[in-house]
Amino acid sequence: MCHAFLTDANFYRLLFEIDKSLAEEVRTRGCDCGGRLHSARYPRKPRGMRSALDASDESRLSFCCAQEGCRRRHTPASVRFLGRKVYLGVIVVLLTALQHGLTVQRRNRLIEALDVSPQTLWRWRCWWRERFVQSRCWRALAGQFIPPLVTDCLPGALLERLRGQDLSERLVELLVLLSPLTTTTGSLRVGDNPQRM
Ligand SMILES: [Zn+2]
């Protein structure tokens, strides 16, 4: 395995810590109705690298307003779950970003290790090219890069402009930048078919 962090439980624990702090901001803010938020996690069964994951990765942090008559759902942004795709966000980003950056053999080994089908990879590539570039998140990001990012090379083009010292740090930075995509609570929704991604 050429990307050791992918099998390192500490890497996923770091992502979980970031998710917890994003969730804490939402919980502290409370509901618009003034109600308090109670934990109401969504069960998840993320695919790829199961051996490095633990029980904390089997749910998406989420809240429900405790106020009778409101009960509104508040799901914070996440650096772990990219929308409702069944693979963890880091895997979606990594495999599509490395499209041009690895030899065919190394890339195939990685795809095999992560058990991702060619159809799934294809859908992810379409998602970057067609859905992501229409999102508010992308429009906000795109203006910050000079020279402009080449949209055909997303997310790799974005990943290589970040400052992290190594690939895993840059991936975490990128997942943080993408996290607004992952919440519909007072934010945007990038239309995708949840079950097929
Ligand atoms: Zn409420």
From the CA of 73, how far away is ligand 1's center (Å)?
8
Assigned token pair, 81: 């779950």
From the CA of 72, how far away is ligand 1's center (Å)?
5
pLDDT for the residue numbered 34: 96
pLDDT for the residue numbered 185: 57
From the CA of 78, how far away is ligand 1's center (Å)?
21
Task: Provide, rounded to the nearest whole percent, the portion of the chain with pLDDT above 90.
Answer: 65
What three-state secondary structure class fits 86? Answer: coil
pLDDT for the residue numbered 196: 38
pLDDT tens digits along 157-176: 999 899 999 999 999 999 99
pLDDT for the residue numbered 197: 42
Average pLDDT over the chain reads 87
From the CA of 40, how far away is ligand 1's center (Å)?
14
From the CA of 129, how far away is ligand 1's center (Å)?
36
Contact in structure between 57 and 16 (CB atoms under 8 Å): yes
From the CA of 36, how far away is ligand 1's center (Å)?
7
Task: Provide, rounded to the nearest whole percent, the portion of the chain with pLDDT above 70.
Answer: 91
Half-sphere exposure of 45 (CA within 13 A, CB side): 1
pLDDT for the residue numbered 50: 83
Amino acid type, 132: F
Residue 189, pLDDT > 90, answer no
Place of tokens 């859908």: 123
From the CA of 74, how far away is ligand 1's center (Å)?
9
Contact in structure between 78 and 179 (CB atoms under 8 Å): yes
**Dmax (CA) of the chain:** 57
